Each structure stands twice: as C-alpha cells, then as structure tokens.
Amino acid sequence: MRQNIKPNILWLRENFGWMGSHSGYDQLFEAIAELQTVNHSSICKEYKNIPSVGKRIISGLTKQAKVSPYYNSESTIAEFALLWKAFTQKTDLIHTAYVEHSLGILLDWKQRLSLKIVGTAHQPTSWWRLMHRYEDRIALLNALIVPGSREVSYFENYLPGRVFFVPHGVDIDFFKPKSETVDSDKAEKYPRCVFSGTWLRDIDTLAVVVDQLIAKNPNIRFDMIVPISKRDHPAFYRIARHEQVTWHAGISDEQLRTIYQQASLLLLPIIDSTANNALLEGMSCGLPVVSNNVGGLLDYTRNDFADLLPVGDIDGMVESVIKLIDDPQQQNTRGAAARFFVEENLTWDKIAMQTLEVYSKVIG
C-alpha cells in the first residue's frame, strides 16, 4: 500500500444464516479491520423482502443481470447500495466477497465511476462450467482471488496475470482442541466420526461407508451435521436407519465446536471443492481427516494428517477409518499435525495479510 496513506476499501459482504459467528469467509474482513492498515466500509447483502416501491424495476434489473443461480433481487439491491456509496465517498478499491452471488450490474459501472474491483470466486471450476452464464465478464475485474490453486489456471484464461490463490482461513482461537483437563470419567466411550454439510458432498458413498463401518464395528458413532431442509437425499434415509447415528441442526457455535472436539476424526466424502469450512474447522479442533483426493482438499491438507482417497473409493475410506479407530495414538498424532498445519498456514491474520497484498497490487 502507499506509504503513510491508508487506502479506502469498500467491501460487499455476505453472511449466511446457516453459518455461525466464527465461521465463513466474512471473518476475513474482520481480520483486515483489526490490522488497521486500510480505511474500510461495508455493504452487507441481506436476505430480506424487497420493498414494494420499485419492486418491479429491481426484479427487471435482476433478471437482466442474472449471471448465476445465486444472483437474486437482494444482490441487485446490494450492488446499487455499493455503487451509491462508491459514488458519494472516495473509494480506492471495491472487494466483492462472492462474485457468484453479487456481480451482476457492478461491472457495468466500473468504467463510468473509475472503480477498481477485486472479487473472490468460491466455487470450483466444475460449477463455473456448469452454472455460470458469462464467465468472460470476470475479465472486467482488476483481480480475482480464488481459495483453490486449481482454479487459477481456469480463470487465467479470462484474467491473465490477475488471478491470485489466497487460502480460506479459520478462527483457531475459537475452533480448538478440547482441553486436556476433561474428566476421564466423562470422556466419550465410543469412537465418533463427524460429517458436516451437503454442498458437493458424496452422500451416496457416505451411506455405504457408514453401513460397512457399523458392520465391522457396531461401537462406532456418527455425528451428522446437516440442516433438516437438506436431508431429502435418499441416501440420508439409508444412514438414518442406524441407531449409531446422531443428527444435528440449528446448533450454536459452541455446540458445533463440542461435536468436533468429541470426535475421533472428520469423515468427509466429497466430489469437488475449493475451500471447505467443515474441513478447516475440524482440522483446527485437532481432527485427522478421511476425505477425497480432489479439488481444494489438496491445498488444505498434508498426508501426515489426511487420508485422501479417490472419489468413490468406499473400501479405502472404510480401511482408513478403521485404522484410525483402532489406533488412538495415531488419532492424536495426526490430529496434532492437523492443528499445527492450520496454526502455521490458515489463521485469519495471515490470510488478511495475503489479501492486502492483492489490494496493493491492484491499487499500485
């Protein structure tokens, strides 16, 4: 950044109702604010009813700008609020946190208002090929941040030299291993596997893995963190037949952390990803990982704490889980390695510094 001059940064942020106050990408902006190296202000996309006045106009603009399934009327309202704020105050740079959700009309005003815009794209390239209508519009950005290194080469086709891999972070002060002073009489008697989420999860593989694990060791317990509204996949009914499975939804941040802390490992069959909150939070709580060798999992894990199997490798997953369950010492060793990895690489203050470096390149 320019020496002794704090640039003025305007953020377009978004919070999701299913994420707690210690989860998600929005933590980045709090971390940057704490560094006090930029002047900042925010517009937050909110999920609320559109005012009756102007509803028809907003709906029409949204329809014209609908570049992805996630873009909606709230996106259009947030972009107009952002543009008004950029017009009425000095703005050196805009950072829109989710280009999949909130990059419809903003780029049309970029030249008129002489705006410099950075965006973050969270979805893997498979999603972009399948769902996004106008990928070439991304070329109008000054820079694009991606939380998966494999997305860099894809977006370089549109923004050569302007795509930056900056990892997702995790709140290591909140998501941490359980205290060593836990009463041994109250300690969990059974090994527990925790699974979380639905987006790009391989639910069919998970169901078969759960069946086979329980057949091999009926003492294994499973914690399934899945919103009730997302449980309509037929494979979830297969999993729900087992009394060893506990379902969780609508839980507090503290309850979520306790589930991770009481688990033996994170079991996360997945078909694609960039960053994954469940992965990072589980690792931060000291859990070894059994997942798949795909997408961003390769950026956020090492083989000293994660077994990454080919997608659909049921036998490999079952074998990896059994090995960990049968060897508590390996659980502890690999869990400690996972925690060390996030401490060294994925704290929000480190991610904030890397993001500021991108800002600096754009501002010049």
119-158 residue pLDDT tens: 999 999 999 999 887 778 889 999 999 999 999 999 999 9
The class level of CATH for 8-169+347-363 reads: alpha beta
CATH of domain 184-345: 3.40.50.2000
pTM of the complete model: 0.93
What pLDDT is attached to residue 189?
78
Edge-first strand listing for the sheet containing 143-146: 39-45, 8-14, 93-96, 117-120, 143-146, 163-165
Asked if residues 143 and 159 have their Cβ atoms less than 8 Å apart, the reply is yes
Chain length of the chain = 364
What pLDDT is attached to residue 3?
54
Reported as a pLDDT band with limits 50, 70 and 90, residue 186 is very low
First to last CA, the chain: 7
3-class DSSP state of 125? helix
Question: Would you tell me the crossing angle of helices 203-216 and 314-325 to the nearest 10 degrees?
Answer: 50
Mean pLDDT of 78-88: 92
What pLDDT is attached to residue 72?
86
Q: Is 53's pLDDT higher than 60?
A: no
**Domains 8-169+347-363 and 184-345 belong to one CATH topology:** yes
> Which of the listed ranges 47-61, 124-138, 306-320 does the model predict with the highest average pLDDT?
306-320
> Which of the listed ranges 16-30, 109-123, 213-227 does the model predict with the highest average pLDDT?
213-227
Residues sharing a CB contact under 8 Å with residue 344, sequence separation 6 or more, in sequence order: none
Asked if residues 266 and 289 have their Cβ atoms less than 8 Å apart, the reply is yes
What pLDDT is attached to residue 50?
59
Domain borders along the chain are: 8-169+347-363, 184-345
Q: Is 75's pLDDT higher than 60?
A: yes
What pLDDT is attached to residue 318?
98
Q: Are strands 117-120 and 289-292 parallel, antiparallel or unpaired?
A: unpaired
Task: Find tokens 């190296």 and name the residue.
Answer: 37
Q: Where are the beta strands (DSSP E) in 84-225?
A: 93-96, 117-120, 143-146, 163-165, 192-196, 221-225
CA dihedral 63→66→70→72, nearest 10 degrees, is -30
Cβ atoms < 10 Å from Cβ of 55: 12
Mean pLDDT of 48-76: 75
Cβ atoms < 10 Å from Cβ of 72: 19
**H or E, element range at 270:** none
In whole angstroms, give the CA distance from residue 264 to residue 286. Answer: 9
Burial of 152 (0-12, 13-18, 19+ CB in 10 A): middle
Percentage of the residues of the chain whose pLDDT score is greater than 70: 94
Q: Give tens-digit pLDDT for 241-279.
A: 999 999 999 999 999 999 999 999 999 999 999 999 999
Mean pLDDT of 32-50: 85
Q: Give tens-digit pLDDT for 197-248.
A: 999 999 999 999 999 999 999 999 999 999 999 999 999 999 999 999 999 9
Q: What secondary structure does DSSP assign to 61-90, as a single string?
A: HHHHH--STT--HHHHHHHHHHHHHHHHS-
